[in-house]
Structure 1
């Protein structure tokens, strides 16, 4: 049974803590425009954001990861994104309130993301976030679903893994949390493909909305 009042909260970034889809959709459609293609619907791009830049290239141009031209297209997309990582990105409400209350009560929290530091750090800074730890895709030799980044984040926060919640919107987040010995907390408001059912993921807790997650942490009523 996960602790109802964890010592530390660890968040995935894209689609869990921050709604980054608008800026990534802008970059994806910039790539489309560069190739003379019309813009894709926002909802279609949003569902792929948690799968990373390569998935967005495949969506935009139909180029699989090993296809000629994929790497150049990914570079273009990431450069377009890097020009303004926080133009429209925002912390999911009411998670901003959660972090204010959590920090005011000396709660520890951090971010573990598969996003490269070149994009994650400026985003976090632009949004005025102050996590106790920010671990990115290129900080360690491995990334999620390997548990090593979660273990390192817990170590830096001086929190036992068993007393941490790891909150995410992707199957690999749950896999990493389980392997790290943390409570795996799945959220249904993130970037989830239509055919994917987040309640089938191997989590300890499932929350359909950010409001339900905040209520569980501040009022002690896990949704389960």
Structure 2
């Protein structure tokens, strides 16, 4: 029996792509490079700063300037991380119903605490999450299962009693490796080149409220 529901943040609960894209495009403009359109940014928004810098500058992580560019991207994002970010349609109603059913809920994200701890209070969740685990909370990030185990420990449950919802392959890997049931958020940041049918999620849903039939 599922006794708690845990979620990824970017691309699952919150649409953060516009603010991430704005930060990237400001950095590109500073460097005299063309900006990137939303339709290219959105599918990789869940993959974080490294993927966005690679998109914008066409360089790999091994490039000598990569880390400096990533840090500058994060500084730009720091200035506007909550300007246009919002909850996906149906998320607020979903959280209300999860709470009504007496289930704890929480967030496990790869977003650094630097942003997570300030962004979550700005989002109109009807009930506050009972646990929040960021990408640097336990020193490792998804797909490592340790953030998942830490979250379940914080709410006093075995991971096998938890359901995890995310939109990226690493979300499904981390949840499965921790022993959680996994749900793929089909409305999230999934690229045409992704192969979500091979990720091994227990179920795929296409809107937040579809989750209710699986609890």
TM over 0.5: yes
In 2, the alpha carbon distance for the partners of 1:158 and 1:128 equals 26
1:186-213 per-position Cα deviation (integer Å, ceiling 9, x unaligned): 1111111111132221111111233423
Which TM-score applies when normalising by structure 2?
0.94
Residue 41 (structure 1) aligned with residue 31 (structure 2): no
Name the stretch that deviates more: 121-130 or 182-191.
121-130
In 2, the alpha carbon distance for the partners of 1:142 and 1:38 equals 34
SS at match of 2:98: helix
Aligned equivalent of 2:84? 88
Residue 66 (structure 1) aligned with residue 73 (structure 2): no
Name the stretch that deviates more: 172-181 or 32-41.
32-41
Structure 1 unaligned blocks of 5 or more: none
Residue 28 (structure 1) aligned with residue 15 (structure 2): no
Are the equivalent residues in 1 in contact too, given 2:90–2:207 (CA < 8 A)?
A: no
Aligned equivalent of 1:12? 8
Residue 188 (structure 1) aligned with residue 186 (structure 2): yes
SS at match of 1:48: helix
Residue 76 (structure 1) aligned with residue 79 (structure 2): no
In 2, the alpha carbon distance for the partners of 1:7 and 1:211 equals 18
Name the stretch that deviates more: 51-60 or 123-132.
123-132
Candidates 144, 147, 150, aligned match of 1:149 = 147
In 1, the alpha carbon distance for the partners of 2:151 and 2:9 equals 14
Are the equivalent residues in 2 in contact too, given 1:187–1:198 (CA < 8 A)?
A: no
Residue 216 (structure 1) aligned with residue 213 (structure 2): yes
Deviation at 1:178, TM superposition (A): 0.8
Count of aligned residue pairs for this structure pair: 213
Aligned equivalent of 1:177? 175
Candidates 102, 106, 125, aligned match of 2:98 = 102
Are the equivalent residues in 1 in contact too, given 2:7–2:164 (CA < 8 A)?
A: yes
Are the equivalent residues in 1 in contact too, given 2:81–2:115 (CA < 8 A)?
A: yes
In 2, the alpha carbon distance for the partners of 1:208 and 1:200 equals 17
In 2, the alpha carbon distance for the partners of 1:46 and 1:92 equals 14
SS at match of 2:80: coil
1:52-111 per-position Cα deviation (integer Å, ceiling 9, x unaligned): 101111101112112021111111111111112111111111011111222244320000
Aligned equivalent of 2:201? 203
